[in-house]
Amino acid sequence: MNVLKFCMVTTFYPPHSFGGDGIFVYRLANALARHGHTVQVVYDRDAFTALAPHSPSSSYPNHPNIILHPLSMGMGSVGTLDLLLSHQLGRPVGQRARLKAILQQTDFDVIHFHNISLLGGPCVLTYGDAIKICTLHDYWFVCAMHVLWRFNREACARRTCLACTLAGRRPPQLWRYTGSVARAVRSVDAFLAPSDFSCHMHAAQGFPAPIRSFPHFLPEVEDPEPSDPDDQYRHPRPYFLFVGRLEKLKGVYVLLERFRTYHAADLLIVGTGVNETELRERAKGLPHVHFLGWIEHHQLQELYRRAIAVIVPSLCYETFGLVLIEAFAARTPAIVHARGALPEVVHTGGGGVMYRTDDELQERMEMLRTQPALRHQLGEQGYQSYLEHYSEARHLRRYYDLIDELRSARGLREGKSRREGLP
């Protein structure tokens, strides 16, 4: 493919991010840049400052082919008001209005929208004339709380949107009731979601456009040198690993309760989040449960490699599961809650086991702890699944094919319009 000009449009971008959506954009932007393309990234630094429970990390270097456009006025009264108005009106306000000029004054070949929730809502999709792609990393277009997690206690099985929004202490967004989403999606050439499950859930919730399943990937990086034996992350006992945000919907509370009576191995918890203080308090008296906070990626890779398994106990409808393919790349199996897209990732090529109840969770843990040959077999299956389905090379091949397809389709549409004399 010829050298292209890309623009990534996202609310969060590392180091000003704390979820999988920002990590995915970072990986995609840098993969494209390494392949010779030019990439500009527009993101909202104020949004991270307003929501982050911690200071950003500085360990995310960008390729020289990447140009960053951080939209920021600082989080004084003006910046806070602009953020709130953009959230409420469904269009960019104040500093965020720069986004329109960036997208319309630069001759991009592809504009790829990601999480646009705090950039200005659905109106943002109408900006620019390039091929436009939008990845649905979460359920924001059909859920004001983003995650279909009802009243912060259960996966959403019954729509009570206004009550749920108010219970979550967020102001209702009136634009959600005006048809603005249905109008804005007409400007996008293709919507992508990282799993079949996410596609089906969006359709069931009334998303007004077709969606293609387009799984995430891991970038091509060289394996780091083995850590020094005295490395602080060489844990002295066998352990299971949790990696993710420390929030109720991620299921960490479930793991703590299970490890109150399970002592055959340790539990290592990597991540930060709004419930970290409460979780640490609950874990007092559990010396085999260890909170490691946020750690560097190369150190996390070592933890993956040495774990008996990664446990992903999410209670919500995950749209994918980046942690799973990170574990697979390290030849480590996964134990996943049978909800959301997690079973789909495990079933695609193997690499893990599922559970539905707390007792089943402990059974799966003991099975992998006491059967190293089975752990090795599942780890190898996961690694082959990563190579076949979630590698950078495979993802970029599909991505370039998609762009070619959308270019051809747009050319046919424009040609038909000219022949029929349409405006």
Q: Which helix (H) or strand (E) holds 392?
A: helix 392-420
Check residue 97 and report its DSSP letter: G
How much of the chain, in percent, has pLDDT values that exceed 70? 91
Average pLDDT of the chain is 89
Sequence-distant (6+) residues with CB within 8 A of 243 are 270, 271, 300, 310, 323, 326
Confidence band for 57, pLDDT divided at 50, 70 and 90 = low
Are both 5-214+392-420 and 239-389 of the same fold? yes
Tokens encoding 243: 């990696």
Q: What is the three-class DSSP state of 391?
A: strand
Cis peptide before 15 (omega within 30 of 0): yes
Short-list 316, 275, 291, 276, CA closest to 241: 291
Q: What is the three-class DSSP state of 248?
A: helix
Q: For residue 263, with 0-12 CB atoms within 10 Å meaning exposed, 13-18 middle and 19 or more buried, which class applies? A: exposed
179-212 per-position pLDDT tens digit = 899 999 999 999 999 999 999 999 999 999 999 9
Angle at 271 between CA 381 and CA 289, to 5 degrees: 85
Q: Which residue has the tokens 């089975």?
A: 374
d(CA 159, CA 132): 30
d(CA 45, CA 69): 9
Residues 107-126, mean pLDDT to the nearest whole number: 93
Q: Which helix (H) or strand (E) holds 269?
A: strand 266-270
* Domain segments of the chain as ranges: 5-214+392-420, 239-389
Residues 120-144, mean pLDDT to the nearest whole number: 94
Considering only residues 36 and 52, tell me which one the structure prediction assigns the higher pLDDT: 36
Residues 96-116, mean pLDDT to the nearest whole number: 90
pLDDT over threshold 70, residue 228? no
Contacts 24+ apart (CB under 8 A), 129-132: 129/104, 130/7, 131/189, 131/403, 131/406, 131/407, 131/410, 132/187, 132/188, 132/189, 132/190
Q: Which residue has the tokens 């480590």?
A: 332
d(CA 14, CA 173): 27
d(CA 172, CA 153): 20
Sequence-distant (6+) residues with CB within 8 A of 75 are 46, 49, 50
User: What does pTM read for this prediction?
Assistant: 0.91
Q: What is the DSSP string of 181-222?
A: HHHHGGG-SEEEESSHHHHHHHHHTT-SS-EEE----B---P
Q: Which residue has the tokens 């749920």?
A: 164
CATH 3.40.50.2000 fits 239-389, yes or no: yes
Q: For the ranges 128-132, 226-230, 371-375, 397-401, which has the lowest average pLDDT?
A: 226-230
CATH 3.40.50.2000 fits 5-214+392-420, yes or no: yes
300-346 per-position pLDDT tens digit = 999 999 999 999 999 999 999 999 999 999 999 999 999 999 999 99
Sequence-distant (6+) residues with CB within 8 A of 299 are 227, 231, 233
Considering only residues 157 and 360, tell me which one the structure prediction assigns the higher pLDDT: 360
Short-list 314, 317, 119, 118, CA closest to 205: 317
pLDDT on residue 421: 45
